[in-house]
Amino acid sequence: MLEILKRRFRTGIVTTGYPAVPDIAPPGFRGKPELSGDRCTYCGDCVSACPPGVISLEKVNGEEKLTLSYCGCIFCGRCEEVCPYGAVKLTQEYELASKTKDDLQTIIRRKT
Amino acid sequence: MTVENEIEIMGQRLNEKINNMFGRSLHIREVDAGSCNACEVEVTALSNPIYDMERFGVHIVASPRHADMLLVTGPVTRNMELALLKTYNATPSPKLVAAMGSCACNGGIFGDTYASGGGVDKFIPVDVYIPGCPPRPQAVIFGLMVAMDKFEQKIRKTEVKA
């Protein structure tokens, strides 16, 4: 009994104060992927590499449009691996909950 | 007073009412609609001493009839389609639905095939999407807070023109 109590006090409080205290993901954590409009050349390597196929490249009215939806993203990091220009970066951001599907999109455009 | 103003005030009142209903405690029924069990492991981790979901008054219950919210994981498979609809109908109104994991949001790695439905929102209305494969327990807590209107969502649609 005393042993158990002793151990209990030695352990202390383990509960995180998460919503009040911000919790930063450990280094190497694969979170929200971000597209960089300056570096991207719209080659389409990430589109063919994406396993769930959430990245799409469209060419409409002389405009190239690269869309990444976080909705089906499995955060595998393949897009970051295959991109020769380093235009896709996986950040440590993980608080992606959203009330609409529309907000879970990031789009970059370029005129051709 | 115009009709639009009236509708706005009614909306605010409804919001307050919903907040009063769900503000203090939330009972969740976890529905596995064909998930790979990674999301379930994260939900289990929510009730351990480290993440301790019960400090917010969030409980996991054993029956949809006791629940205020359905936490759906998995791309609704054909076998689980009817079970999900039955669970949804058995939950008393007002109810919330959270789609947890990439599969529940959009089909994820399973996509939209003959055996997989490709997202919960094709079958039942979804209130909050929690992407991640699987989402961290902190991300799930954040998602539940967004669903309860305690936090604002951080992510917005971004469009960059070059």
Any CB–CB contact under 8 A between B153 and chain A?
yes
Nearest CA in chain B to A108: B160
DSSP-derived 3-state class of residue A107: strand
Confirm if A99 and A43 have CB atoms less than 8 A apart: no
Determine what percent of chain A is predicted with pLDDT higher than 90. 5
Within-domain flag for A18:
no
Residue A9 in any domain: the answer is no
- A-to-B residue pairs, Cβ atoms closer than 8 angstroms: 135
Q: What is the pLDDT of residue B151?
A: 75
Instruction: Please give the structure tokens belonging to residue B85.
Output: 């609809």
| Residue in B106, B111, B139 closest to A97 by CB | B139
Q: Beta-strand (E) ranges in B9-131?
A: 26-32, 58-60, 69-73, 96-100, 128-130
- Contact (Cβ atoms closer than 8 angstroms) between residue A54 and residue B106: yes
Quickly state the pLDDT bin for B72 (edges 50, 70, 90). very high
Q: Which domain holds residue B140?
A: 24-147
Check whether the bond before B134 is cis (ω within 30° of 0): yes
Q: Give the total number of structural domains in chain A.
A: 1
* Residue B6 resides in a domain: no
Band of residue B23 on the pLDDT scale cut at 50, 70, 90: low
Task: Round to whole Å and give the CA distance between B22 and B69.
Answer: 10
Please tell me which residue, A15 or B154, carries the higher pLDDT value.
A15
Asked whether the beta carbons of B153 and A97 are under 8 A apart, the reply is yes
Which stretches does DSSP call E strand in A18-104?
33-35, 55-60, 63-69, 88-90
Q: Has residue A79 been placed in a domain?
A: yes
Subunit contact B129:A109, Cβ cutoff 8 A: no
Range in A63-67, B18-22, B43-47, B154-158 with the lowest mean pLDDT:
B18-22
Rounded average pLDDT over B78-102? 90
Residues 86-125 of B with CB under 8 A from A: 102-103, 105-109, 111, 121
In a domain, A57, yes or no: yes
pLDDT band at B21 (very low <50, low <70, confident <90, very high): low
User: What DSSP state is assigned to residue A52?
Assistant: S
Confidence check: pLDDT of B24 > 90: no
B131 part of contact set with chain A, CB < 8 Å: yes
Partner residue facing A97 (CB), from B107, B142, B158 = B142
Here the CATH number for the domain that contains residue A43 is 3.30.70.3270
| A73/B144 Cα distance (integer angstroms) | 20
What range defines the domain where residue A84 resides?
25-111
What pLDDT is attached to residue B144?
A: 87
Residues of A in contact with B159 (CB under 8 A): 106-109
ipTM over 0.90: no
What local confidence, expressed as pLDDT, does residue B1 receive? 62
Which residues of chain A neighbour B75 with C-beta distances below 8 Å?
A: none
Give the torsion through C-alpha atoms of B15, B16, B18, B23, to 10 deg: 130
Query: Structure tokens of A32?
Result: 């929200």
- pLDDT, residue B20, reads 64
Contacts of A70 in chain B (CB under 8 A): 131, 155
- Among residues of chain B, what percentage have pLDDT more than 70? 92
Q: Is B89's pLDDT higher than 90?
A: yes
Q: What is the mean pLDDT of residues A41-45?
A: 87
Give CA–CA dist B141/A97, Å, rounded: 10
pLDDT score for B19:
65
Give all strands of the β-sheet with B69-73 in edge-to-edge order.
B58-60, B26-32, B69-73, B96-100, B128-130
A85: distance to nearest CA of chain B, Å?
16
Domain at B106, CATH number:
3.40.50.12280
Q: How far is A82 from chain B (nearest CA, A)?
A: 19
Are the CB atoms for B42 and B137 separated by under 8 Å?
A: yes
How distant is the Cα of B130 from the closest Cα of chain A, in angstroms? 4
Query: Is A68 among the domain residues?
Result: yes
Interface contact B46, partner A, CB < 8 A: no
Q: Which residues fall within 8 angstroms of residue A39, CB to CB, at 6 or more apart?
A: A85, A86, A87
